[in-house]
Amino acid sequence: MKNKRGIALIMVLIFLFLISALIMENTVSSNLKLELLTSSRAYLQAYSLAWGGINYGLGVLAQDDDLRVDWLGEEWAQGPFEQEESEGRVKVWIEDEMGRINVNRLGKAKKQERRDRIEQLLELCDLLHTPYSFVPALIDWIDADKEVTVLPFVTGENEGAEDEYYTYLDNPYPAKNLPLEVPAEILWVKGMDEEKWQGSKKTPGWRELLTLWGNGKVNLNTAPFSVLKATLQVYSSEVIGDDLVEEMLEARKNNPFLKVEDLSPYLDKKVISRLRSSSLVGFSSSLFSVKAEARVEGVKVTIKSVWERKRNGFRVKYTQLE
């Protein structure tokens, strides 16, 4: 009888253990499902909020009714803009995409324009401590032919790269031979690496200075130091000093440059004359990048986009979700 009672007690204990384990499993599963549902809801809210931020940025740009000039004294350049909503917070940045150098124009430019654009990028190589070979390699990545580009007017390493170079890398891939579609694609080009792309405290990264869109004209009212100096140096036989560039940056804070002649106080007559026929410089923009970062209950969603401003509104050129 005692043995039967002992066995019965053991069976009861086993049953209670199984019931407890099942209850615990259901509790953990329910908590996990609740966390997933909460996280999904927060993500969807953050995603919606981020797109609301993009639309807010476009609304700010739409208020700019003087399309003859775009400069850093205008409302759109005063960001970041922050908005507090009931479900979370969103922060919006607007930048002039045409304050950068359009590398895809290398594949379209001919004769003098092509030479000017190459010189512009070579000057940038000097400023960013990048080998000159990056420029012909960039040309080879974009152009349709399979011939390796060599720049005869450049001393030192000046050879580009086609399939023969890329297919012998540890992680091989072919040369694209088409225009760039995504900015970070430039990391695949010979001569570029993560450090040069991202930059440092002392040296800006290439990612801040290049674009893939637009007519190729650099807006001198919004171009950062390195782009402004590299662009103007193309047309000057004398070295353009850092102090002079800083002086121009300071001057445009209060009054934008409206025409080439406005640069006369800083540049000599020969440079001004060359700039008049330049295909590299402008004073207004039709392309802007709008970035929105939304946070909801610890979930962050970032949308980066580039928009073309047209007479009847905006057209998206690029969107990246993070």
Q: How many CB atoms lie within 10 A of CB 126?
A: 13
pTM for the model stands at 0.86
CATH entry, 1-128+209-322, from 3.90.1720.10, 3.50.50.60, 3.30.750.24, 3.30.1300.30: 3.30.1300.30
Q: Which two tokens stand for residue 275?
A: 């700039």
Low-confidence ranges of the chain (pLDDT < 50): 2, 12-13, 16, 21-28, 30, 32-37
Is residue 79 within 8 Å of 92, Cβ to Cβ?
A: yes
Is residue 144 within 8 Å of 177, Cβ to Cβ?
A: yes
pLDDT, residue 90, reads 96
Task: Please tell me the distance from the alpha carbon of residue 254 to that of residue 257, in angstroms, as a whole number.
Answer: 10
Closest CA to 144 of 184, 173, 107, 102: 107
- Report helix, strand or coil for 104: helix
pLDDT, residue 238, reads 95
* Cα-based distances in Å from 315 to 101, 287, 288, 305: 20, 9, 11, 11
- Report helix, strand or coil for 102: strand
> What is the DSSP code string of 68-97?
T---TTSGGGG--EEEE-SS-EEEEEEEEG
Residue type, 29: S
Task: Please tell me the distance from the alpha carbon of residue 121 to that of residue 231, in angstroms, as a whole number.
Answer: 8
Residue 23: partners with Cβ closer than 8 Å, 6 or more residues away = none
Closest CA to 306 of 75, 54, 18: 54
**pLDDT tens-digit profile of 298-317?**
899 999 999 999 988 999 99
pLDDT, residue 262, reads 97
> Residue 22: enclosing H or E segment and its boundaries?
helix 2-62
At CA 167, angle to CA 163 and CA 171, rounded to 5? 140
Task: Please tell me the distance from the alpha carbon of residue 95 to that of residue 208, in angstroms, as a whole number.
Answer: 11
pLDDT, residue 7, reads 57
Closest CA to 93 of 279, 302, 270: 302
Q: Which two tokens stand for residue 165?
A: 């170079």
Task: Please tell me the distance from the alpha carbon of residue 192 to that of residue 206, in angstroms, as a whole number.
Answer: 9
Task: Please tell me the distance from the alpha carbon of residue 283 to that of residue 260, in angstroms, as a whole number.
Answer: 9
Beta bridge partners of 315: 308
Q: Which two tokens stand for residue 194?
A: 């993560």
Task: Please tell me the distance from the alpha carbon of residue 113 to that of residue 266, in angstroms, as a whole number.
Answer: 24
Q: Which ranges in 204-253 belong to alpha helices (H)?
A: 225-233, 242-251
